[in-house]
Chain A
Amino acid sequence: MQGYKGYLLGATGALALGLAASSLLAQETTLTIESWRNDDLSIWQDTLIPAFEAEHPDINLEFTPTAPTEYNAALNAKLEAGSAGDLITCRPFDASLALFEQGYLAPLDDLEGMANFSDVAKSAWNTDDGATPFCVPMASVIHGFIYNADAFAELGLEEPETLEEFYALLDAIKEDGGYVPMAMGTVDQWEAATMGYQNIGPNYWMGEEGRLALISGEQSLTDEPWVAPYRELAKWGEYLGDGFEAQSYPDSQNLFTLGRAAIYPAGSWEIALFEEQADFEMGAFPPPVVNEGDTCYISDHTDIGIGMNAATDNPEAARTFLNWVASPEFASLYSNALPGFFALSNEPVSLENDLAQEFVSWREECESTIRSTYAILSRGTPNLENETWNASANVINGTETPEDAAARLQDGLASWYEPQQGE
């Protein structure tokens, strides 16, 4: 009796072991993805992961996001302890650069998929000399102006192309009096800088050309291309809503989605929210150029990327995944799932959301650049990005002249940034 039972147990045990071993042999690598994009959990689980696993049945993906505010600290702690995931979602610019310099992120200069990206797209996750990228760019946000198409139709207005047309348009809306011409406030400051200065600026400083010249010290913030956008902002005040000085960012959003304002200086991340809240047709136009026929430049600001943990046990599988992220297939899936966040690969993507499609189509007509203050120039104190918030708000409020604001920013930058200290 006893012996028989023992035999049976042994046999089942052997069977179980055999099964386990065979499943181990057939596969199977699991890659863990670190991210701060809590909001995207369902997109990853329902769309992106199944699509990838269908092509690569031997690789399992696990998406494990942390809260955005805790991400940097949590990730650093995990990397130090050696318990971080195989794939790491990268914040743009200095935060990820620091991880690369500490050896936590693997260099990706030999990843085939990197060829699908332009230099601008890679600029947020590159060494300062531009030689070694360490994250695959995933998405960017594009600046422009969203407008109330019903209001435009009612007033018989058209999208402006040049600066002159832009002001004629604003004057016409103002004269009619039924709509606030533009919905923007200055009390939160960042709207003025991000949707104001960084939105229209690239047309004046010629996108990347000016941005790189500023970094190398060939241009300064008091040069005409950098002061001119402030001169335009100074004119905006009269077209904004009553009491715009105390109007906050949510106020501006509501003013537009409630149909009380005609134009909203925007970032493409607004698209999903606006589509949900506004019950009128919307359209979008890129920042107007100075003279008809000028090349247009848009701020196509890199926001999110993904890299490989240098200490991963499965570098091959991780590289396979990163190549997939760099592929047009991922670009199309991701951009459609998240309208307003545009994949960065060179291959044009077609989007189902019309407004998002409009924004992304500007990449064909215009030259892309990123926000001028984000790379390198905001490493010191006073911080150029934060001071730009302040200066843009002051200029729109009319409490500082464009020239004074530019001179103050230049002084601040030159106080710590060597290439700007020449002469």
Chain B
Amino acid sequence: MTSGVGEPLKRARRWHIAVFLAPAVLIYTAIMIVPLFATLFLALFQRVEGQQIFVGIANFATLFGDPRWAASFWNALWNNTWFFIVHMLVQNPIGILLAAILSNPSLRLRGFYRTAIFIPTILSFVIVGFVWKLILSPLWGVAPSMLDAIGLRHLFSPWLGQEGSALTALALISVWQFVGIPMMLIYAALLSIPDEVIEAAECDGLTGFKQFWKIQLPLVLPTVGIVGILTFVGNFNAFDLVYVSQGAQAGPNYATDLLGTFLYRTFFGFQLQLGDRNMGATIASVMFFIILAGVSIYLFLIQTRLRRYQF
């Protein structure tokens, strides 16, 4: 009893930590980490006479070195980049603008607008693709007849069927569908700005647009950053909308081919083209590295420089 003071307390083993973490760790490992590494692994093999043979980085060399593969890849990568640029230039500014308007307390029917703008986000790609194909259809679409009604029929063209406009049209459809997400995130961030800050600004004579520009926007910048990175990851994984509206061949003339559709055609095959799992895995790996690089740049170069305010 007397010696109890100097003796270190025997630490209880905290089994419960491991027990509580186990389900998440196991499930995440089984459905995310293992398939990820399996894909990276598969990219290092090639099927030769029915056998999987280790070929090192030969598949990557083919993807970047063979003129045909490289042309398809760079085409898909550029299309993907353009898809992302359209989202960054259209979706996110509109999202911020809508959030700013919604957070204005004098606006009536706020709940209705918020819900109406957010609803397309929860629709399936199949529905969105199909509805917009119908709207833009040169034969039965609403778009040509509406333009006709105001005498601007000549402005209509079959956008989804033209090489120059198909990808931009699809990107704008995607923007229409997903603009609710940046709006909601930024709206939430705007609501968390304390009233005192706004009142103080008003006392200093900052109102309206200036107030938004100088006070609110800087305060929600970290959220805008998150929205940007979500857009990046989402866009570089995009596949569904193109597949639904243009098919796996991503026409016209591969003008809407994204990395996702390129991967799909290669991995699973299409029509008479048999699937090539190894080249497919190679493309999937490259997509992973691109997204990893993008996220890393954000995390290490941008996020660390963003200034945060605590209230």
A and B bind: yes
Residue of B nearest to A377 (CB): B272
Contact of A187 among B252, B270, B273, B274 (CB under 8 A): B252
Residues from chain A with a CB closer than 8 A to the CB of B249 are 189, 386, 389-390
Contacts of A241 on B, CB cut-off 8 Å? 138-139
Q: Is the CB of B276 within 8 A of A186?
A: no
A104 interface residue per 8 A CB criterion = no
A381 at interface (Cβ–Cβ under 8 A)? yes
Q: Contacting chain A: which of B7-15, B158-166, B173-181, B299-307?
A: B158-166
Interface pair A246/B271, CB less than 8 Å apart = no
B251 touches A247 (CB 8 A): no
- Write out the residue numbers on chain B whose beta carbons fall within 8 Å of the beta carbon of A242: 138-139
Name the residue of chain B whose CB is nearest to the CB of A397. B252
Interface presence of A383 (CB below 8 A): yes
How far apart sit A15 and B287, CA to CA, in the bound complex (Å)?
Answer: 73
Q: Are B272 and A378 in contact (CB under 8 A)?
A: yes
Known: A189-B247, A386-B249, A393-B252. A247 touches B158 (CB 8 A): yes
Contact A243 B161 (CB under 8 A): yes
| Chain B residues within 8 Å of A397, by CB | 161-163, 252-253
Please tell me if the beta carbons of A399 and B163 are within 8 angstroms of each other in the complex: yes
B246 adjacent to chain A (CB < 8 Å): yes
* Distance A255 CA – B137 CA, assembled complex (angstroms): 12
- Whole-angstrom distance between the alpha carbons of A379 and B276 in the complex? 12
- Please measure, in the bound complex, the distance between the C-alpha atom of A254 and the C-alpha atom of B137, giving whole angstroms: 13
Binary CB contact string for chain A from 371 to 406 against chain B (1 if under 8 A, 0 otherwise) = 001100011011101100110011001011000000
Contacts A390-B251, A399-B252, A412-B68: A385 and B158 contacting too (C-beta < 8 A)? no
CA distance A77 to B177 in the complex (A): 41
The answer to the question of A275 belonging to the interface, with a C-beta cut-off of 8 Å to chain B, is no
Interface string of B241-258 (1 = CB under 8 A from A): 000001101011110000
B272 touches A246 (CB 8 A): no
Is the CB of A188 closer than 8 A to any CB of chain B? yes
Residues in A whose Cβ lies below 8 Å from that of B161 = 185-187, 243-247, 397
Q: Given the complex, which residues of B lie within 8 Å of A254, measured CB to CB?
A: 139
Distance in angstroms between the alpha carbons of A245 and B164 in the assembled complex: 12
Determine whether B114 belongs to the interface, using a CB cutoff of 8 Å to chain A.
Answer: no
Q: Which residue of A lies closest to B162 (CB)?
A: A245
State whether A385 touches B271 (Cβ < 8 A): yes
Whether the Cβ atoms of B253 and A393 lie closer than 8 Å is yes
B169: nearest residue on chain A (CB-CB)?
Answer: A246
Q: Is the CB of B158 within 8 A of A243?
A: yes
Interface of A is mostly: loop
Interface check A251, CB cutoff 8 A = yes
On chain A, the residues within 8 Å of B206 by CB distance are none
Task: Answer yes or no: A415 CB below 8 A from chain B CBs.
Answer: yes
A410 at the interface (CB under 8 A from B): no
Residues from chain B with Cβ under 8 Å of A373 in the complex: 272
Within 8 A of B (CB), among A332-380: 373-374, 378-379
A32 lies within 8 A of chain B by Cβ = no
The residue from A186, A243, A379 contacting B252, defined by CB atoms under 8 A apart: A186
A126-185 CB contacts (< 8 Å) to partner B: 185
Bound-complex Cα distance A397 to B166 (A): 14
Bound-state CA distance A187–B252 (Å) is: 6
The interface residues of chain A lying within 8 Å CB-to-CB of B157 are: 243
- Identify the interface centre among A94, A245, A247, A415: most chain B CB within 10 Å of its CB: A245
- Shortest beta-carbon distance from A13 to chain B in Å: 55
Q: Does chain B have a CB within 8 A of A248?
A: yes
| Chain A, residue nearest B248 (CB) | A386
Chain A residue nearest to B163 (CB atoms) is A399
Contact of A386 among B137, B138, B270, B276 (CB under 8 A): B270
Which A residue's beta carbon lies closest to that of B269? A383
Instruction: Report which of B68, B137, B247, B270 forms a contact with A246, defined as CB distance below 8 A.
Output: B137
Question: Which chain B positions have C-beta within 8 A of A400?
Answer: 253
Contact B251 A189 (CB under 8 A): yes
User: Which residues of B from 136 to 178 have beta carbons under 8 Å from A?
Assistant: 136-140, 144, 156-163
A189-B249, A255-B139 given as contacts; is B271 within 8 A of A386 (CB)? Answer: yes
CA distance A399 to B157 in the complex (A): 16
Select one of A251, A378, A399 contacting B139, CB under 8 A.
A251
Kindly state the separation between the CA atoms of A399 and B255 in the bound complex, as whole angstroms: 12
Closest to A394 in B: B253
C-alpha gap A189/B247 in the complex (Å): 9
Would you give the shortest CB distance from B269 to chain A, in whole angstroms? 9
A381 pairs with B137, CB closer than 8 A = no
Chain A hits for B270, CB < 8 A: 383, 386
Residue of B nearest to A374 (CB): B272
Please name all residues of chain B whose beta carbon is closer than 8 Å to the beta carbon of A382 when the two chains form the complex: 68
Pairwise interchain contact B139-A187, C-beta atoms closer than 8 A: no
List the A side residues contacting B272 at CB < 8 Å: 94, 373-374, 378, 383, 385-386
CA distance A242 to B273 in the complex (A): 32
> Is there an interface contact between A378 and B138, defined as CB atoms closer than 8 Å?
no
B253: which A residues are within 8 A, CB to CB? 390, 393-394, 397, 399-400
* Chain A proximity of B293: nearest CB distance (Å): 28
- 0/1 per residue, A216-249, Cβ < 8 Å to B? 0000000000000000000000000111111110
What's the least CB distance linking A84 to chain B, in Å? 21
A412: chain B residues within 8 A (beta carbon): 68
A393–B158 contact, CB under 8 A? no
Residue among B68, B140, B246, B252 with the most chain A CB within 10 A? B252
* Cα distance A189–B139 in the bound complex, in angstroms: 18
Chain A residues in 8 Å Cβ range of B158: 187, 243-247
CB-defined contacts of A255 to chain B, threshold 8 Å = 139
Cβ-defined partner of A247 (8 Å) among B138, B144, B162: B138
**Inter-chain contacts of B162 with A (CB < 8 A):** 245-246, 397
Which single residue of chain B is at the shortest CB-CB distance from A243?
Answer: B138
Contacts of A393 in B (CB 8 A): 251-253
Within 8 A of A (CB), among B90-147: 133, 136-140, 144
On chain A, the residues within 8 Å of B133 by CB distance are 248
Which residues of chain A have C-beta atoms less than 8 A from B246's C-beta?
A: 187
Task: Give the CA-CA distance A382 to B70 in the complex, in Å.
Answer: 13
Given contacts A243-B139, A246-B161, A397-B161, 17 further A-B contacts (CB under 8 A): A94-B274, A186-B161, A187-B158, A187-B160, A188-B247, A188-B251, A189-B247, A243-B156, A243-B158, A245-B158, A246-B136, A246-B159, A246-B160, A248-B133, A255-B139, A386-B249, A390-B251
* A-B CB proximity, top 4 nearest: A243-B138, A245-B161, A246-B161, A246-B158
Mind listing 5 A-B residue pairs with CB under 8 Å? A189-B252, A243-B156, A246-B137, A251-B139, A378-B273
List chain B positions with a Cβ less than 8 A from chain A.
68, 133, 136-140, 144, 156-163, 246-247, 249, 251-254, 270-274, 276
